[in-house]
Structure 1
Amino acid sequence: MSNDNPAANGQAEAQQAAQLSIQKIYLKDASFEVPGSPQVFQEQGQPQFKLELSQRVQQIGDTAFEVVLGVNLTCELAEKVVFLAEIKQAGIFVLEGFDDATRQAVLGTYCPQALFPYARSTISELVLAGGFPPFVLQPINFDQLYAEQMRRRAAEGQGEGLVGHA
């Protein structure tokens, strides 16, 4: 049975034409500091961890975008910084055939989700190489973070674009 609705046919063709490809995933920047070493290794107590995420999207071609996922992990014990791990995991993604809203959603959800396993591994390796017990970042729901960001921007009247924003 054929579909006689031209709008539905056009939408189906546009969805079939949309393509996403990952051109490259790379570590853009990494830093690990243990400001109180070696004394910090003698400290006892329950450490507190603070995780901060950031994202930056930059258009680098007609259909190519660099997405940078920033992960900052701070470990404190008795209000002293034990270690600080900071990385910027990046990727180049090519998105073709997406409307603006869908492209922004893909850049804000799928792309950081693709980068996250690499960031998780790098943070774990840095912490271990720094002489500390293994640390595993818990999964992050980037769909929920994106939805919250869009609600916040709508409330502030900033619009929906991610490109060029941190």
Structure 2
Amino acid sequence: MTNETAGAEPGQSIPPDAAVLALQSVYLKDCSYESPNGPRVDGNWNPQISLDLQTGSTALGPDVREVVLTVTVSAKIGDVTIFLVEI
């Protein structure tokens, strides 16, 4: 084992009152996939891909927070949605 703190440069010390981040659990709250027009797409398609990331957090205790990351990916050709994924 080592006495060095992860993230510290060799010879550099971290103050004892420095904030510490520790993941306690990771889980999937919700997931959905829709492909309303997937079967109608031919091999020569050039979709517009959209990626949306959103974050939020809630205090659960004095030093505990729940952080939620929402990811939405969609592929469209014009106004027609080929697929939509939400996690």
Query: TM-score, structure 2 length as denominator?
Result: 0.72
Identify unmatched segments of 5+ residues in structure 1.
1-11, 88-166
Partner residue in 1 for 2:58: 58
The one-letter amino acid paired with 1:22 is L
Secondary structure of 2:37 counterpart: coil
Higher relative strand content: 2
Partner residue in 2 for 1:14: 17
Identify unmatched segments of 5+ residues in structure 2.
1-14
How big is the shift at 1:45?
Answer: 2.0
Encode CA deviations 1:88-129: one digit per residue, 9 max, x unaligned: xxxxxxxxxxxxxxxxxxxxxxxxxxxxxxxxxxxxxxxxxx
Compared CA separation, residues 43 and 82, structure 1 to 2 (3 A)? farther
Using the alignment, how far apart are the partners of 2:63 and 2:16 within structure 1? 19
How big is the shift at 1:43?
Answer: 6.0
How big is the shift at 1:44?
Answer: 2.9
Encode CA deviations 1:48-82: one digit per residue, 9 max, x unaligned: 10111100101112211111111111101233100
Between the aligned residues of both structures, percent identity stands at 36
Encode CA deviations 1:20-58: one digit per residue, 9 max, x unaligned: 211001111111101124223x36321110111100101
State the Cα RMSD in Å. Answer: 1.6
Q: Which runs of 4+ in 1 moved over 4 A?
A: none
Count of aligned pairs: 73
Query: TM-score, structure 1 length as denominator?
Result: 0.40
**Structure with higher RCO (Cα < 8 A, 6+ apart):** 2
Secondary structure of 1:29 counterpart: coil
